[in-house]
Amino acid sequence: MGKTLGASLDAEIVTVYRTLDGAIHHARCGKPVMLERHRAGGLEIDFYCRACAETVTLPFCVLSRIRVTHGATTLS
């Protein structure tokens, strides 16, 4: 019927990326996003991209998994 709860949830984060200076950027336009608010009792974080006028919501638990890039190169 569905996947078991024990299945790995380590999917790649593709909506944002982190630069070497630690800033989080919107993957669609490459511009930095700003922290907008915490929701769901602190379980989710909303970031806002001024360039796209779009909100990007991420679960708090994935922040450490946001990939780090330098230009077009992804660092492991």
Model pLDDT, residue 5: 53
- Of residues 22 and 70, the one with the higher pLDDT is 22
The whole-model pTM stands at: 0.76
**What digits encode the pLDDT tens for the residues 11-34?**
788 999 999 999 999 999 999 999
**pLDDT tens string 32-42:** 999 999 998 88
- Which neighbouring-strand residues pair with 32? 25
Location of structure tokens 């200076």: 21
Which residues lie below 8 Å from residue 37, measured CB to CB, with a gap of 6+? 45, 46
Residue 50 has pLDDT above 70, yes or no: yes
Say which residues have a Cβ less than 8 Å from residue 70's Cβ, sequence separation at least 6: 19, 20
User: Which of 29, 16, 27 shows the shortest CA–CA distance to 65?
Assistant: 16
